[in-house]
Amino acid sequence: MNQLLSKFDFSDELLDVINHCAGVYTPTTKVELYDMVYGPDHASTYDVTYYVKDKGEIKEADVVRCKNGAAVNYVDDYMRRRDPNCMVIADNMPTDKPTYKDVYKRDFSEMKKETFDWLKTQELIVMPFNSGGNVYGYGSLLVCPKNAAFFAYALSLLQGFINAEESKGFKPRAVIYVAPPFRHTHFDGKQVVVHNRLDDCHEVFSYNLYPGPSAKKGVYSVLLDIGETEGWVTAHASAARVVTPYENETVIMHEGASGGGKSELLEEVSRVSDGRVLLGTHTVTGEKNYITMGDTCTIKPVTDDMAMCHPSFQNNSGKLCLTDGEDGWFLRVDGVTEYGSSPQYEKLSIHTDEPLVFFNIQGVPGSTCLIWDHTLDSNGKPCPNPRVIIPRKNVENIVMEPVEVDVRSFGVRMPPSTAENPTYGIMGMLHVIPPALAWLWRLVSPRGHKNPSIMDTTGMVSEGVGSYWPFATGERVKQANLLLDQIMESPYTRYVLIPNQHIGVYHVGFSAENIVVEYLARRGGVNFKMDSLMASRCPLLGYSLKEMKVDGQYIRSKFLRTERQDLLGIEGYDKGAKILNDFFAQEIAKYDTPELNPLGKEIIECFKNGGSVEDYCNITPIGLN
């Protein structure tokens, strides 16, 4: 066995694979690992292929050596974004997810043996890493075919890379096994990731090479599994310390399904050529609404997607405390369509001190890979899920230590809504909600309008509890209870709702979110008097603002209370509210079980009885004056 690995405590099955495979490579540096990405000939282009019985050699992806990193493109359009239904559970522990035995009508032990037998035929990268980053992470291991070194390198950027030479060794708390050909031989070409939870180890079997459901969300599953066992949550959230021009600081945490505005929290306000900020464009008349902003806040990023809310961070402040659960960010850059769209990420991706990995972005050998040059799908349209992995240490003003959260927001992609075509897109620019409603929104977590990160879905779909349910392996009610406990243990953290894409008939993209961040930071958080708020017409939306002034300018009331929009009106609003309410009723029913926290039952009963926002406040006070 590789001497570097001899210090680690591996299972007998894993030792058997390592001792009988065609070769083991354990990189001690990222430079060494990156050198493997382009194959044994260190070529400028490298095809990742596998022999598949009865089908011959199948190409999964090509890798192009660019000046600033590796551009990886998959042959199949399907492999360029995460399949939300790719997870199956192999073990017999409690779960609400599809099990391997139920889906495939056989025990996973047979597949596991076949997987290990195949791995023994390969040259392997066996690489230790930390799930959750190097500071607070859990010792883990990757077992991956050497010709898929790009996958290993991507994981080394995302998670906490460990130099095995300098490590004291560990018994892996998680192991990721990668076996790409099985997608074709056993799973009809589908992305399948099998989770096998053992008493002391969480095994992840990735039968495809897109890192989203394994190296990224698979590790998230590991953290959620550990948290479910130990009683804490890794939230699906970005967070930032927002510093006003007067040096006042507010920490904002933004949750939501993929596409819900988490990465956008970390971006500065976007301006048009004359310096103004485009708030919204009327989708029928084309009328544009602008505001003028002078100095804007400094955004100091904390997390991009995974926020570890470990008990060891918590103090007596009465606020939720968190830190980043990753060492690198898997950034979606579909909104970067030309030079100047996102100067911050353009600079980070072009001028980098170590090679990056780009997915679904065109690369030319020897050139600089540009994040706005998106690969075209087979339909001739740009892939909606272009990605780049950015090491968080490279991000300007990055915050490394745990932070206390002042405002916890939830973002939802909203469709346009009019009286003629009413939808659930009735949310105003900012809603203040009590903790009880904040919990309900996290139970339902609408995936929202035209999510670019995953395979297409139609209609309104729930992402599930915490918006991280697609990645959780256990039971939804356990997660619902953990979230409620977390909320109740943080009485001085306040809650808001923020829409993106549309506010009624207006298209706003993420500009509303950016403006709200500026507004909240200048106010020192949700520091409202109750007489500045009014109950929203739809109780699920809590309180609406009577007025909103940003940098000396009032936001039009039509952006705060959508029923005031001429083309929506009260009738259209009420139809949209019913759509939203019916959807909540459908999704909340899943949690109304004997195992639910009694306080949770009380909140759900309030919803079922048509409770007002004041009724929710009576259950969990909002904490405003």
**Residue 424 sits in the same domain as residue 503:** yes
What's the confidence (pLDDT) of residue 416?
95
Say if residue 400's pLDDT is above 60. Answer: yes
What's the confidence (pLDDT) of residue 625?
57
44, 14, 48, 24: which is closest to 149 by C-alpha? Answer: 48
**Residue 202 sits in the same domain as residue 238:** no
**Residue 66 sits in the same domain as residue 116:** yes
Is residue 268 within 8 A of residue 274, CB to CB? The reply is no
Sheet holding 387-391, edge to edge: 45-52, 56-66, 69-74, 356-359, 387-391, 328-332
**Residue 163 sits in the same domain as residue 289:** no
Span 458-475, pLDDT tens digits: 567 889 999 999 999 999
User: Where among 537, 562, 587 does a domain terminate?
Assistant: 562
**Residue 279 sits in the same domain as residue 213:** no
Which pLDDT band holds residue 505 (cuts at 50, 70, 90)?
A: very high
Sign of CA dihedral 524, 528, 532, 536: positive
**Residue 25 sits in the same domain as residue 133:** yes
Strands 138-145 and 87-89 turn out to be unpaired
How is residue 470 written in tokens? 């697609």
User: Where among 516, 543, 562 does a domain terminate?
Assistant: 562
What's the confidence (pLDDT) of residue 166?
84
Q: Is residue 614 part of a domain?
A: no
Span 148-200, pLDDT tens digits: 999 999 999 999 899 988 887 889 999 999 999 999 999 999 999 999 999 99
**Residue 206 sits in the same domain as residue 272:** no
**Residue 226 sits in the same domain as residue 239:** no
Which pLDDT band holds residue 441 (cuts at 50, 70, 90)?
A: very high
Q: What is the CA radius of gyration of the chain?
A: 24
Q: Is residue 265 part of a domain?
A: yes
What's the confidence (pLDDT) of residue 451?
56
Higher pLDDT, 169 or 285: 285
**Residue 445 sits in the same domain as residue 497:** yes
User: Where among 230, 257, 281 does a domain terminate?
Assistant: 230
- Quote the number of domains for the chain: 3
What's the confidence (pLDDT) of residue 316?
84
Q: CB-based contacts of 274: which residues, under 8 Å, 6+ apart?
A: none
Which pLDDT band holds residue 387 (cuts at 50, 70, 90)?
A: very high
Q: Is residue 330 part of a domain?
A: no
Overall average pLDDT of the 390-408 stretch: 95
**Residue 39 sits in the same domain as residue 168:** yes
Q: CB-based contacts of 375: which residues, under 8 Å, 6+ apart?
A: 73, 80, 360, 361, 362, 382, 383, 386
Say if residue 455's pLDDT is above 50. Answer: no
Give the domain CATH number at 492: 3.90.228
What's the confidence (pLDDT) of residue 384?
92
Cβ atoms within 10 Å, residue 415: 15
Q: Is residue 612 part of a domain?
A: no
Span 345-358, pLDDT tens digits: 999 999 999 999 99
Angle at 584 between CA 578 and CA 588, to 5 degrees: 150
What's the confidence (pLDDT) of residue 362?
97
| CA distances (Å), origin 189, targets 60, 76, 535 | 11, 10, 50
Distance between CA atoms of residues 531 and 549, nearest Å: 16
Q: Quote the domain boundaries for residue 481.
A: 234-320+405-454+467-562
**Residue 83 sits in the same domain as residue 195:** yes
Span 291-318, pLDDT tens digits: 999 889 999 999 999 999 998 888 888 9
Span 596-607, pLDDT tens digits: 999 999 999 999
Q: Is residue 574 part of a domain?
A: no
Which pLDDT band holds residue 456 (cuts at 50, 70, 90)?
A: very low
Give the domain CATH number at 38: 3.40.449
Say if residue 109's pLDDT is above 50. Answer: yes
**Residue 183 sits in the same domain as residue 304:** no
How is residue 430 written in tokens? 């900012």
Convert 550-561 to b/e letters by CB count within 10 Å (16 or more is b): bbeeebbbbbbb
Q: Is residue 308 part of a domain?
A: yes
Higher pLDDT, 14 or 3: 14
136, 129, 180, 179: which is closest to 158 by C-alpha? Answer: 129
What's the confidence (pLDDT) of residue 381?
96
Q: Is residue 311 part of a domain?
A: yes
Q: Is residue 624 part of a domain?
A: no
